[in-house]
Amino acid sequence: MKKYVVLLSLLMLLGACTATAKPNTDPGTDQTGGQTGGQTGGQTVSEYSTKTLAAFNGKNGAKAYIAVSGKVYEVTNVAQWKNGGHKGYTAGVDLTAAFANSPHIASLLATLEVVGTFVK
């Protein structure tokens, strides 16, 4: 039953996405001033580690990104991910395991902008 609730939540989340995704233009720096993603010196960063992805948690004006199956998706403009959280999940993390049993996840993720790849 829980799987169906999660699947239904994901369907509602991604089905309600009507905003057009914007290109990643944030300079993105962590609290120590290190690079976390976005654009760096005119070059777009396309790989996100666990540490760099964590900066994109949707809190305090940060963009919201999630990783699923090696790809990083932007959920900043998805209403259900307001403030970086949705149904107990948080942005800025790898959600591959959480979505593993969802038969429709590929088609749902296809509606989101891929901003990079996730490397562990």
Burial classification of residue 107, based on how many CB atoms lie within 10 Å of its CB (0-12 exposed, 13-18 middle, 19 or more buried): exposed
Q: Which residue has the higher pLDDT, 63 or 14?
A: 63
Q: What is the pLDDT of residue 87?
A: 84
In angstroms, the CA 9 to CA 63 distance is 21
Q: Which residue has the higher pLDDT, 105 or 2?
A: 105
pTM of the prediction? 0.64
43-85 pLDDT per residue, tens: 456 899 999 999 999 999 999 999 999 999 999 999 888 899 9
Q: What is the pLDDT of residue 120?
A: 84
Domain architecture of the chain: domains with CATH: 2-118 (3.10.120.10)
16-32 pLDDT per residue, tens: 443 333 444 443 433 32
Q: Specify whether the backbone of 53 is left (phi greater than 0), alpha (psi in -120 to 50) or beta.
A: alpha
Q: What is the pLDDT of residue 31?
A: 34
Q: Which residue has the higher pLDDT, 45 or 105?
A: 105
Backbone angles phi and psi of 93, in degrees to 5: -140, 165
